[in-house]
A and B are shown apart, each in its own frame.
Chain A
Amino acid sequence: MPSIKIKNISKSYVSSDGEDVLALKNIDLEIRDGEFVCIVGPSGCGKSTLLEIVAGLQKQTAGEVLLDDVPVNGTSRDIGVVFQDAALFPWRTVKKNILFGMETAGISRKEQEEKLEKYLQLMNLKGFENKYPAQLSGGMRQRAGIARTLIMEPKVTLMDEPFSAVDHLTRCTLQEELIRLRQQEKKTVLFVTHDINEAVYLADRVILLSARPSVVQEEYVIDAPFPRSRSDDYLVQLVARIVADISRGAEKTSEVEYMI
């Protein structure tokens, strides 16, 4: 039963001016097995920092992250990460990029090939396996990036604004594919985005982080079955509510600290 528990995570760092900045403050979250949770929040609120802490790429100042009740210490093959602009290696073909994780894990050639076939199919990458990233569109690149993560079959998948670098239409297609993928595979996903429409459309639950120092400002359970419609009244109203909550949060902090 893979689940992620984020317990009382705080993160502070020293800025270039030598000041102590508190980025995250006592974040408590639990992502249950098979759940798709989106984190949204104003820019600079530390969404990506939180995700990198869960991934083991950054150290928290306080608190702990538990995967199946075991503390996460550094990166782990059980936690997959999809990066913002796919971060494919330009010197490797799509195929070699997707197999990177399996190569480092020392998995046999035969098994690599079998899995590759499955994930090329799953991510609609058939026929592109011998292309280099520079020859692909942004959408294709991110498909390969997702395939590279999923082929390792991690218990939990973290996605850091994975569709922010592609155009709107491609983004919609990728969102549909992600929903289809979830219905097939029932993955546990933590998804960071600044696009509230995207969050509401994809997630079972949306977590709103406040501006710095970030705390969990609000939590929204999205009680709508898949497939969803983008024009669904319930979803549209939810988006409006989240947007209102964000600007309310922004007002609050600007009152306390300073007026812009």
Chain B
Amino acid sequence: MEAAIKKSGKAKKKRRFTGINCLQLLTLAGLLGYMQYAVSSGKVSKIFLATPTSIVEEGVEIMTSGLLWPHLLLTIQEVLTGYLLAAVVGVTMGLMWTLFPKTEEYANVFCAAIMAIPKTAILPLLILWFGIGFKSKVVLVFLFSVFQILYNTVTGAKQCRTEFLKVASVFKANRFQTVFHVIIPSALPSMFNGFRLGVTTALTGVIFSEMQSAKAGLGYLLAESQQLLNTPRMFFLIILVTLISVVFVKVVAMAEFMFCHKWRRV
């Protein structure tokens, strides 16, 4: 009995390859196999679906020809610039609101109003103001992610346990010490939640705006391949942006791990 308990405990830790995993793999293989069969046999038009092999071929092709890299680089630059700007502004504003509640009272209504605008609706205006290049993309990415970071920072800071604030007060911590040694650390998990949400929407923002109007970027490439009816390339680009999104989320998760893992009960 005891041995059985020990064994099952061990299995959980090691994450053994189970029957469910087999089934999942089979499903995936079946799906890919069907795609391959349906398209190559002509049952489904090449315009609607692509064979896995053609997707891989297309990917290799645009990577080796060098077509992909400038677009990829530009998109990443746009998204990182906008996102980092949003992180800095969101966190700074969130802390300012917590430090000086009057500023929140004043600014909250404006932020709420801007947040309520579907961001995609102001893209045409942004293009008029900033052109179809780098700037309008950065601004859109910024708008896409800044509110998630701002409001998560504010919420986190407000959720600081009153006991912690009492401790700070009893030890005569000044405002600066209270913010940096008590409020920010206790708000970190919530702030990282905002960073994580913000990074995925940032990518959504950049792809969308590049698809609408741009001269380069992954979104532009995607829209172009649709017009050229290059379905394998569309599939490849969708997979690529998904991977980028996964990598971004992972990077945020790693940063969170570095800052919070030691003391948070996982």
Contact = CB atoms under 8 A, between A and B. Distances in A.
B41 to A, nearest CB: 59
Nearest to B170: A81
Contacts of A152: 171
Contacts of A132: 262-263
Interface string B149-182: 0000000000001011011111111100100011
Nearest to B168: A104
Contact of A76 (B163, B172, B174, B188): B172
B52 interface: no
A133 B263 contact: yes
B172 A91 contact: no
A55 interface: yes
Interface in A161-215: none
Interface string B173-203: 1100100011001101000000000000000
Task: Please classify the interface of chain A as helix (H, G, I), strand (E, B), loop, or mixed, using the class held by over half of its residues.
Answer: loop
B171 A104 contact: yes
Contacts, number: 64
Task: Please classify the interface of chain B as helix (H, G, I), strand (E, B), loop, or mixed, using the class held by over half of its residues.
Answer: helix
Contacts of B181: 89, 100, 103-104
A251 to B, nearest CB: 35
A83 B174 contact: no
Interface residues of A, number: 26
B43 interface: no
Contacts of B167: 81, 83, 87, 89, 100
B264 interface: yes
Contacts of B163: 83-85, 87
Given A87-B161, A91-B185, A91-B188, A101 B263 contact: no
22 contacts: A57-B166, A57-B169, A75-B169, A77-B172, A80-B170, A81-B167, A84-B163, A87-B166, A87-B167, A90-B263, A91-B185, A91-B186, A91-B263, A101-B171, A103-B181, A104-B172, A104-B177, A105-B171, A105-B172, A132-B262, A132-B263, A152-B171
Interface of A: 55-57, 75-77, 79-81, 83-85, 87, 89-92, 100-101, 103-105, 132-134, 152
Interface of B: 161, 163-164, 166-174, 177, 181-182, 185-186, 188, 260, 262-265
